[in-house]
Structure formats: C-alpha cells, structure tokens
A and B are shown apart, each in its own frame.
Chain A
C-alpha cells in the first residue's frame, strides 16, 4: 500500500540553498562551456589542419575522452593528479574535467562544420583577394561554427546536466547542495523532485541564452532572415 505522504514544508527554510546550488551550477557549467568552446575550436582547427602529427594527437585525445565515462575522468583529475603532485580544489578539478570533456565533443562537432564548407567558397574568396587569415576566419571558421551551432548548443546543455556528476567529488553545485539538504531533512524523494524541476528550468534557460548568443554572434544569419 502506498501510505507515503508528501511533505514539501522543508522548502520554507531550504529554498535559498536550492537557489545557491542553482547559481553555482550556472557558474560551473557556464565557465566550463566558455573555456571548453575555445579548447574545442583550437582542437578542431588543428584536427582539420595539415600537420599530421598534431592532428593525430588531437584525434587520440578526442577518441579517449569520448569513449570513457565523465565520472572516471573526474576521478582521474581529482584523485589521480594529486598523486602526481598536482593538488586541485574540487571546483577547479570539476571545471578542468568538464572542459576536457566538452573540448573533445565540441571539436568533433566543429570539425564536421569545417569539413562541410564547399571548396567553391574558398576559391571565390581567393578570387576576391582575401588573404589566408581572412579566408580562414570569414569563409571557413565563422560559417562552420554558425552551421553547427544548434548541435553545439545541445552539447552544451548536456554538459550542464552532466555537471551534476561533479557532486561526487563534493564540488559546490546543485546536486551537492541537494545531497546536503536531503541528509538534513530526510525527504530524499521530494528534494530530488525539486532538483529535477530546477535542472529542467536550467536547461530551458541555457537553451534560451545560447540561442540569444547565436542571434547576436551570427550577424549574417540574422540579416538573411529579415
């Protein structure tokens, strides 16, 4: 028989803690996304470049990261690196692991964008007399990122959600906050229901913000539409 009665009264006192956790998750995920995007961009450029050795190295990095769990990557950074003499705080370790993770996934997405640029575009740009750097920036990189931006955004939202795993090394974020609250209130099910709802709201928020950033960043797309 289901004789359980839901009790959300703990929210009266713990709501600020939930909000603090949500804010910490926004900071953690936001900084990981920002740094991770730069890493991804650099890796994608190297990967599609002419240097075989560097490209192979980045390829190996991408394969290793994409075929091992984030949890294990976090453990290696947080528990493993100190034994090699590099001691990190939980938050720093969390950001490093998340950046390494997004860097790998993001670079594969951006690389697909770079490869999708038609050769005719490059020839046309050369005919117009653009120099090498201008061609790379205006004809390859920006249109490539623009084209894969929706996929990139989804990847970033997934990263925000998987940042919950960093609670396992006691990094300050929403899930860690929830673990603390449930150990004080003993209302585990209710606490995680609230947390699920907050994550849902966060993923909508991230989607909207990423969409807005895309609207501002990609001038051409905005102009073509109107």
Chain B
C-alpha cells in the first residue's frame, strides 16, 4: 500500500510550476487583450464600445469550463492536433481579458474628467492624452484590483485539469489515484494553492491601503 509521502509532495510542488506558468500566460495574454478591450469600452466610436462590451458580457456570462471545452474542441475542429496547454492558455486568456478589461475600464473612467479637459486645452491629441495623462493615473488605481484578480487567475487554472493538462489540481488527482488518500492529498493541494494566492491577496490589500492614504 502506497501512502502519501514526501515524494508525492515534491511531485505536487513540481506540478505547481505548471500552474504558475499557465497563470503567467493567462495574465500576459489577458492583459494585452484586456487593455484593448478597456480602451474599446471607453472609445469615442460607438461600434467599438458595443463590440468590446458584447465580448465582455458573453465571456462573463458563460462558465470558464464551457469556454475551455469550446477552445479545446474548437481548435481540434480546425484540424490542429494541439496539446492541452494551448487550449488552456487560449481559454484562460479569453476569460482573463474580459474581467481585466472591465476592471481597467472602471479605472480609466475614475480618472477625473477635468484631467481630460485640461489636457485637451493644452492641445494633446487623444493618443497623447491616454499616453501622458490618463493611463499613468489609471494605472495607479488599477494596481490593487489587478493584483487581486491574479488570485482568481491562479485558482481558475485548476479547471484546465479537466482537459488533462497536468498542473497542480491534476497532479493531485494522479497522486490520489495511487495513494487512495484523497483527504490528505487534496488538503496539501489546497495548501500549495493557498501559498501561491495568499501573498497576492495580502499585496492587493496593501496596495489598496497605500492608494487610499493620499485621499
């Protein structure tokens, strides 16, 4: 009878690296698309506002698991024999971008209107207004919720275990299949997730307090 041992723990920790890698992919991909979405949401062009709004509503209105299945089966329809990490990365990017887009839109909108008017007066173009006036201020406001959302990203990578991508949650299932000690195995899995997420939660709260000091 195999019992849960340090070997299993090391295996879990090694699998956690894939969780982190996937989180980084999702954050970078979702960040790029999310910024475009946020700018689209506050654009002067009505069609852009509508399109990015619709995208966000659709992604936020469907479970990540279903998006994951669509990416997984959709990509294979295209005749591509793709590894699970591509479907996982794609669906997490879609998911992350919709939420970050909406968070960042709020941050852009919370920059006072007078800043727009003042920068307009000194003759900055719209692109310059964003580049030099609005985005730097919005970014300051955006740090706490963005760091907080990273926790959601890390946690949601666990869903990719369902299509067979071996990250922390899947590794937990594999260990459980050989030890038949589900309680201790998944508690350790939860502890490792907690160790990755809790510092980010604390950091998010710290940034938020720091931001509110100036007010």
Choose among A67, A163, A188, A189 the residue that contacts B201 (Cβ–Cβ < 8 A). Answer: A67
In the complex, identify which listed stretch (B36-44, B55-63, B105-113, B133-141) lies at the interface while the others stay far away: B55-63
Q: A residues within 8 A CB of B176?
A: 79
Q: Does B51 count as interface, using CB distance less than 8 angstroms?
A: no
SS of B interface (majority): helix
In the complex, the answer to whether A75 meets B172 with C-beta atoms within 8 Å is yes
Q: Does B189 count as interface, using CB distance less than 8 angstroms?
A: yes
As a 0/1 sequence over residues 58 to 75 of chain A, the CB contacts with chain B under 8 angstroms (1 = contact) are: 000001101111111101
Q: Does A167 count as interface, using CB distance less than 8 angstroms?
A: yes
The count of chain A contact residues (Cβ–Cβ below 8 Å) is 41
Identity of the chain A residue whose Cβ is nearest the Cβ of B180 in the assembled complex: A83
Q: Does A168 count as interface, using CB distance less than 8 angstroms?
A: yes
In the complex, the answer to whether A71 meets B78 with C-beta atoms within 8 Å is no
Choose among B66, B169, B172, B198 the residue that contacts A196 (Cβ–Cβ < 8 A). Answer: B66
Assuming the contacts A63-B198, A189-B70, A193-B70, asked whether A161 and B63 have C-beta atoms less than 8 A apart, the reply is yes
Q: A residues within 8 A CB of B183?
A: 76, 79-81, 83-84
In the complex, the answer to whether A175 meets B58 with C-beta atoms within 8 Å is no
Choose among A69, A81, A83, A196 the residue that contacts B193 (Cβ–Cβ < 8 A). Answer: A69
In the complex, the answer to whether B61 meets A199 with C-beta atoms within 8 Å is yes
In the complex, identify which listed stretch (B24-32, B122-130, B156-164) lies at the interface while the others stay far away: B156-164
Q: B residues within 8 A CB of A24?
A: none
Identity of the chain B residue whose Cβ is nearest the Cβ of A189 in the assembled complex: B73
As a 0/1 sequence over residues 52 to 88 of chain B, the CB contacts with chain A under 8 angstroms (1 = contact) are: 0000001011111111011001100111000000000
Q: A residues within 8 A CB of B187?
A: 76, 80
In the bound assembly, the distance between CA atoms of A71 and B63 in angstroms comes to 13
In the complex, the answer to whether A200 meets B58 with C-beta atoms within 8 Å is yes
Q: A residues within 8 A CB of B70?
A: 189, 192-193, 196
Q: B residues within 8 A CB of A2?
A: 77-79
Choose among B65, B158, B181 the residue that contacts A164 (Cβ–Cβ < 8 A). Answer: B65
Q: In the assembled complex, how far is the CB of residue A101 from the closest CB belonging to chain B, in whole angstroms?
A: 11
Q: Does A8 count as interface, using CB distance less than 8 angstroms?
A: no
Q: Does A135 count as interface, using CB distance less than 8 angstroms?
A: no
Assuming the contacts A72-B193, A165-B65, A196-B67, asked whether A66 and B186 have C-beta atoms less than 8 A apart, the reply is no
Interface centre among A72, A84, A196 (most CB of B within 10 A): A72
Chain B contacts with A in 177-196, Cβ cutoff 8 A: 181-183, 186-187, 189-190, 193-194
Interface residues of B (CB under 8 A from A): 58, 60-67, 69-70, 73-74, 77-79, 151, 155-156, 158-159, 161-162, 169, 172-173, 176, 181-183, 186-187, 189-190, 193-194, 197-198, 201
Return 19 A-B CB contacts under 8 Å, by A number: A1-B79, A67-B193, A67-B194, A68-B197, A71-B161, A72-B172, A72-B189, A72-B193, A73-B190, A75-B182, A79-B182, A161-B64, A175-B66, A195-B66, A199-B62, A199-B66, A200-B58, A200-B62, A203-B62
